[in-house]
Structure 1
Amino acid sequence: MLQVGDTYETDFIITQNQVNAFAELSGDKNPLHINADFAATTNFKSPIVHGIFTSAIISKILGMEFPGPGTFYLSQKLDFKRAIYPDKRYTVKLEIKEIREGKHIAIISTQYFETETGRNRIVLDGEAEVKNLEQIP
């Protein structure tokens, strides 16, 4: 059973091919995400990952690893601090902040850090509220 203070951390990379596939699936073909020539004219200088696609990393971890299978979202807050770029390494860190005992609900901080450059700057800050009958007391 999970407890307040438990953490999970892993690195991830979202590739440009994955961004292109997400653009096709979602219909969000904003050239900022898929066109390097267009993105070069913006303050980002190169394509960036769709914000909502970046949150899929959190969903994968919650549903498959921490807490794991059977977990479902009640809510997710996301504060995008900096752009996430394809083909760069980032670290995701989750921490159990609160457990609502008997309700099987946890409040989990969800943060991404820029790690490829060595700066370790926060790029996404958020909080998930999830339920899992087997992993959360």
Structure 2
Amino acid sequence: MTIHKYYYQTTTLTMKPQLNDTFEYDFSFSWEQVLKYAELSGDTNPVHVTETYGNDSIFGKCIVHGYYSISIFSKVYGTMLYPDGHILISQSAKYVKPVFADEVYTAVFTVTELLLDRNRVRYRNEIINKQTGELKVTGEAILMNKKYYQP
């Protein structure tokens, strides 16, 4: 079953997650947001914030901070995907290709394991460039939710 973002914006979830359920969310990061994240985090590495440096880098332009790019996972888990009572237990990320500002991406969340006896679900998380289909980030998360994740 594939569940898209619009379903969550208009409907309260009452069903339990099933193996291979997916949720997709389209998003982008603006250049201004990247600069604000650099200011807030203190990570002002020029590959993120200095256009001339980014243009001369192996990436050809500035890249979005890794932790900022995966903050989309936190947004979805905290506000859209079973958000009531969600507790993030663990999150991993592998940065396959750089994420750039002002490009549209799709975050894909897939249920890969049900650990309902412990009120937990394992998700595969991916960030995919919406235009090219390139995988940018992959990883997994384990979330606990006593309201939705139970036997």
Match of 2:9 in 1: none
Q: Trace 1:120-135 onto structure 2 (pairs within 5 A).
A: 120-135=133-148
Deviations along 1:37-91, one digit per CA (max 9) or x if unpaired, are 1111111111110001111100110111112232111111101000000000011
User: Residue 97 of structure 1: CA displacement?
Assistant: 0.7
Rounded Cα–Cα distance in structure 1 between residues aligned with 2:87 and 2:68: 18
> Which of 50, 55, 65 does residue 40 from structure 1 map onto?
55
Identical residues among aligned pairs (%): 27
TM-score in terms of structure 2 length: 0.86
Deviations along 1:82-104, one digit per CA (max 9) or x if unpaired, are 00000000111001111112311
Rounded Cα–Cα distance in structure 2 between residues aligned with 1:135 and 1:95: 16
> Which of 123, 130, 143 does residue 108 from structure 1 map onto?
123
Q: Which runs of 5+ in 2 are unaligned?
A: 1-15
RMSD: 1.0
Cα pair 1:92 1:113 within 8 Å, conserved: yes
Match of 2:6 in 1: none
Match of 2:21 in 1: 6
AA aligned to 2:133 is N
Does 1:59 find its partner at 2:74?
yes
SS of aligned partner of 1:125 = strand
User: Which consecutive aligned stretches of 4+ in structure 1 deviate over 4 angstroms post-superposition?
Assistant: none
AA aligned to 1:14 is F
Q: Which has the higher strand share?
A: 1
Rounded Cα–Cα distance in structure 2 between residues aligned with 1:18 and 1:35: 14
Q: Which has the higher helix share?
A: 2
TM-score in terms of structure 1 length: 0.94
Rounded Cα–Cα distance in structure 2 between residues aligned with 1:83 and 1:21: 19
